[in-house]
Structure 1
Amino acid sequence: MTTDVSLPKPEEVGTFYDATNDLMTQFLGGSTHYGYWTGPDDESTFEQAADRLTDILTDKLGAKPGQHVLDVGCGQGRPGVRLATRTGAEVTGISISARDVEVSNERAQREGVADRVRFQRADAMDLPFADNSFDHVFALESIVCMPDRVQALRQFARVVRPGGVIALTDFTDRDPEANARKKEDLAEVGESWHTAPLIKESDYPTFAAEAGLEVVEVKDITLHTRYTEERFYGPLREYAANNDVPPEITQVLEIAPSPEELRAMSEGAPSVGVALVVLRRPANG
């Protein structure tokens, strides 16, 4: 993997989300990930669309009551709590953000699932769990904030039991022929969010093989998630125009696409895509 200095650093990612997530989750449907709309006529709220994506990924796991799921990059706990409530599974969530862990544990208490849903601060690049600790791994967009996807997948493969499923979403480059200026603009947006460089959807079979995992499914869901940016940035910009916001949010908004660009993204085919990825540790692995 590249050693480019622009790669995200775990402590900086944690500091960024410590400062921003209390505000951002208000505009991301209570979660910290994209929404999934069925099409241009879908009038779902952001909250409903975000929960739908959580449910789609949860269903890919096939988690059952009594099983143990690792939620990597738990945000403020909504997806992990929802997963546990829907499936009956036990969930351990991790985040590099101390604030997210605090809020997530408060959510688990408030929703009455703290007996089987817990959150802790940890670095996904060096998971503090024994081998074969979990039945499945769940990672909604968190791998985009890790400096080495293959190393992260190796950690997931280490802690999941043979036959266990790893379901995640990742950001992809859907326009590899874009000009240099557009590439620079996309890289600048990514750096403001502390995300790693985009990869191609077709990279995942290689990533999986290097991590000792099997590919179950790699699917482009961009045409369902493409409404996210406009429905997130628009309300956040309006809020920031009338309220004090953390400097990290100010920087994100300064670099973000214009309203016109956001509208074009939601109506067309964005250059930055979202891939749904399902992997499995071999049963004899």
Structure 2
Amino acid sequence: EAAMSEAMQAKVVNDAVAYAISIADSHGRNAEWAEKAVREAASLPAHQALELNVIDMVAPNFDSLISQLEGWQVTMLDGSVVTLHTQGATIKEVKMNWVEDFLYAIADPNIAYILLSLAMLGLMVEITNPGLIFPGVVGGICGLLAFYSLGMLPVNYAGVLLVVLAFGLFIAEVFTTTFGLFTAGGITSLVIGSLILFKGGPLFQINPWLIAIVSISIAALFAFVINRVIKAHRHQATTGREELVGKSAIVKVALEPEGTVFFKGERWTAVSEKGRVEPGEE
């Protein structure tokens, strides 16, 4: 974002001050403190706010609030005055249903991050092992829930792009032979993206331990996969024709020079390089 000039900053602050003062005056509040709150980012404890006419009352609990509101007069937008009668009022508590409870619970930075991580893992397993179905279904569901959760939170799109880049690098690692290069880049991208995934200060920060657990888990998974790939490259083939190289077999049908040999219970066609070989010989 381009930095504002000093003149523009002063204009913005003055506009905000004028708006705050107009609101304070219309509600009979302390206009002087309203200006101070804008210019100096001032704050007050509850009892001082009451003394300076910044707030109407201090209520330590709901019952106290109901008691203090008895006889309170409120000026409506049309200028009429309404007197509140709260003593003996019937209080009806409206609770969220289970769907609302669930959606409220997942609208949390840590839960959103867990869902996003599970979505990545599930989809990676499905892509690398087509036909398993279950990991893909779980990953898809977690992905949709993660998108809903992210939509309810102040997301930093640079962080989202870094996490998506990490996912792409992890997939690339599976289909290439970089032996960890893409994984290292993916882990780096994932950690940085996770740290800046949300805006809004400490309230919306992901728990660092959660980031560490997810990153280490993915790193361990790919370390295992890479280790298996390296071993597979180094391991000599133990099946098919490659297994027969350098081995001895029993001749079943004379080699003249072509014939048949028996090896580990299997019949193979063989050609002799040293002339005729009789049945029963090796």
Structure 1 length-normalised TM: 0.20
Larger Rg: 2
Structure 2 length-normalised TM: 0.20
Higher strand share: 1
Higher helix share: 2
Q: Which has the higher contact order (CA 8 A, sep 6+)?
A: 1
